[in-house]
């Protein structure tokens, strides 16, 4: 039995979507920019999907949604696209939290190198942005603030609405961007209610096909493209549209939001059951990370006080249980998590993330807890033998 508990990194495509994909592949192959009936069919399907996705995410106008390849492209387009619009030669002041995804932090590092001033706001032990420091850092020349709605490594959900109000109170011209990728499909999203000016998301986090995503840009906020050579997406993101990804996102959001309350209850229950099973036996050996309540319903994160997660993940993998230690983008570079350092984690090398999915069942939790116990005990025995 394979048990996949890495849904914060990527989710399987919903069965309902997989059933429709052969039909979509047969019907929607033409270029939607073509001036013939087959192209018109694809264009109409995109128009319909865009309207429905906007409704699910509380976006007032379809012109405020750009389709992209995912969160990394959306974050780059939002940050670099807005900076280019403001004028690279003018520079400007930008703020972000210390624990943003690297697809936010890396573009900011690039902007620093060409003259922009970027400051990083510290977070507390739960991962919440220090609101007092943020308030003091906002200036007349602060053009952009980027703070994610939820952190993928520790699961904490930031109070974005409060931060948005503060930012606009301090400087109404400052644009507020948020990466909301970890939250779409897990909680109700209303862009206008959140108060953000731009928001990034990706389909592979909510059971849609890979290489699909979007960027919300509030009316009145302008960006320049970072890719050129086409008129698609209002010339803001040129390139032929990923029709399968777009239709997959539309269907996934419909299914998820039609069942949101039930899904939340199920995911939260399984998470707490898993947490209880692990903490009962190893309460003196682990420390849970992120806020205990203001967190993603499917997300459990902690670190071992004296063991390395690499060994634990490897042994669980042998038992066909799949978990992670931090963001895949960090793991692939073999780097220690800057998120865990920022919140004061004593042993970042012992961090683990177990993220529940729609296909996780209650009988799997007991199996995982038992396997986890066996792995920890075997590692402890091995460690003692080396002393």
β-partners of residue 295 are 156
**Tokens 């399987």 — which residue?**
12
> Which residue is catalytic, options 131, 287, 329, 379?
329
54 in catalytic set: no
β-partners of residue 68 are 213
188-193 contacts at long range (C-beta below 8 A, 24 or more positions apart) = 188/257, 188/260, 189/56, 189/57, 189/58, 190/57, 190/58, 191/57, 191/58, 191/59, 191/60, 191/64, 191/216, 191/218, 192/58, 192/59, 192/60, 193/58, 193/161
Q: How far is CA 44 from the centre of its chain?
A: 29
For residues 159 and 169, what is the distance between their CA atoms, to the nearest angstrom?
16
Q: Any idea what the Cα angle at residue 99 is, between residues 164 and 267, rounded to 5°?
A: 85
List the one residue out of 138, 79, 128, 83 whose CA is nearest residue 104. 79
Residues with a catalytic annotation lie at 329
């Amino acid at each position: 039995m394979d048990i996949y508990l890495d849904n914060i990194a990527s989710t399987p495509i919903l069965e309902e979507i997989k059933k429709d994909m052969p039909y979509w592949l047969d019907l929607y192959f033409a270029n939607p920019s073509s001036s013939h009936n087959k192209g018109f069919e694809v264009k109409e399907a995109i128009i319909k999907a865009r309207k429905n996705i906007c409704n699910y995410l509380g976006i007032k106008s379809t012109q405020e949604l750009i389709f992209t390849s995912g969160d990394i492209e959306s974050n780059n387009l939002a940050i670099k696209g807005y900076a280019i619009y403001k004028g690279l030669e003018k520079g400007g002041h930008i703020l972000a939290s210390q624990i943003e995804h690297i697809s936010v932090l890396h573009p900011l590092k690039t902007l620093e190198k060409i003259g922009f001033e970027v400051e990083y706001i510290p977070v507390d032990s739960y991962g919440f942005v220090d609101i007092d420091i943020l308030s003091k850092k906002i200036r007349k020349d602060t053009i952009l603030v980027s703070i994610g709605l939820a952190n993928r490594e520790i699961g904490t959900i930031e109070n974005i609405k409060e931060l948005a109000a503060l930012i606009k109170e301090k400087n109404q011209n400052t644009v507020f961007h948020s990466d909301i990728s970890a939250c779409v499909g897990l909680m109700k999203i209303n862009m206008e209610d959140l108060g953000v000016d731009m928001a990034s998301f990706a389909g592979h986090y909510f059971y849609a096909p890979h290489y699909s995503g979007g960027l919300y840009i509030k009316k009145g906020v302008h960006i320049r493209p970072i890719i050129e050579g086409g008129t698609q997406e209002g010339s803001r993101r040129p390139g032929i549209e990923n029709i399968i990804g777009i239709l997959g996102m539309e269907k996934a959001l419909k299914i998820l939001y039609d069942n949101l309350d039930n899904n939340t209850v199920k995911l939260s229950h399984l998470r707490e059951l898993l947490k209880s099973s692990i903490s009962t036996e190893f309460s003196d050996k682990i420390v849970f990370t992120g806020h205990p309540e203001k967190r993603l319903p499917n997300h459990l994160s902690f670190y071992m006080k004296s063991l390395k997660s690499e060994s634990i993940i490897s042994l669980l993998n042998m038992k066909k249980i799949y978990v992670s230690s931090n963001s895949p983008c960090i793991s692939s570079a073999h780097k220690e998590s800057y998120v865990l350092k920022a919140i004061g984690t004593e042993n970042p090398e012992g961090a683990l993330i177990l993220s529940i999915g729609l296909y996780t069942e209650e009988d799997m939790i007991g199996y995982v807890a038992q396997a986890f116990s066996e792995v920890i005990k075997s590692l402890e025995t091995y460690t003692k033998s080396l002393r």
